[in-house]
Amino acid sequence: MASKAFLIAILVAMVATPSLATDHMVGDDAGWKVGINYTAWAQGKTFHVGDTLTFMYQEGLHNVLKVTGPEFQQCVASNTSDALTSGNDVVTLAKPGKKWYICGFGDHCSKGMKLVINVLEAEAPAPTPIPIPTPGSSSATDLSPFKSFVWMIAALALFKMILLGASATLHGKLKIATRILLYGLSSVGQITKATSPLQILGHNKNTVAFLLSAALFDS
């Protein structure tokens, strides 16, 4: 049961771990439009692989073009076929490195509708602490005093059979082991009120003494 609880804790931690990807609304509430300093907007922000950029603008008035560094400086785009035009464009940052974006409408780029960012490698997820079973949890209470005592009886019976070795027949071994088991089980009614193995030993000294002597010396 303890191993099952451990595995469940790991699975829950995996499912509950939040996604580290961040969605960056370009320009924040202002969105993507003329008159915003997007260089200043990007300052202080950290972009990682897996993050997204969302360009919000009025459809038909602007667009979003991904360009190279030199094109960014000159406000030109050699390839306009990949222009984003929906007014709610989401760009996923798939690779690290510098990324350049401009608006291809008229002179919008020269008026400030241009954005350059540096994308870093994806963040490694922080290790999730695994809860340690505490007294009172199911994993700490599965082994009850009753079960402990029964296991002790079974172990003593097996130990006696091993001690007899080849000097006794299988019938003899089983007879003595059965005697130990029956006597031990007949006393379990006396231990139902015990709350720990130590209390079992304290309240059933005669039973334990008999079982030990039977396991060691009976023949």
Once rounded to an integer, what is the mean pLDDT over residues 104-132?
87
Percentage of residues of the chain with pLDDT beyond 90: 45
CB contact set of 25 (below 8 Å; sequence gap of 6+): 31, 54, 56
Co-location of 166 and 104 in the same domain:
no
Co-location of 23 and 112 in the same domain:
yes
Beta bridge partners, 114, equal 102
Once rounded to an integer, what is the mean pLDDT over residues 22-40?
96
Q: Is residue 11 part of a domain?
A: no
Co-location of 104 and 148 in the same domain:
no
Q: Is residue 137 part of a domain?
A: no
AA identity, residue 93? L
Co-location of 46 and 101 in the same domain:
yes
Nearest-CA neighbor of 123 among 102, 151, 93? 93
Residue 7: pLDDT band (50, 70, 90) is very low
Output the pLDDT for position 163. Answer: 64
Judged against a pLDDT cut of 70, whether residue 147 lies above it is answered with: no
Percentage of residues of the chain with pLDDT beyond 70: 48
Domain housing 64: 18-120
Q: Is residue 88 part of a domain?
A: yes
Lookup: tokens for 203? 């309240």
Co-location of 86 and 162 in the same domain:
no
Q: Is residue 87 part of a domain?
A: yes
Q: Is residue 3 part of a domain?
A: no
Mean pLDDT of the chain: 75
The total number of structural domains in the chain stands at: 2
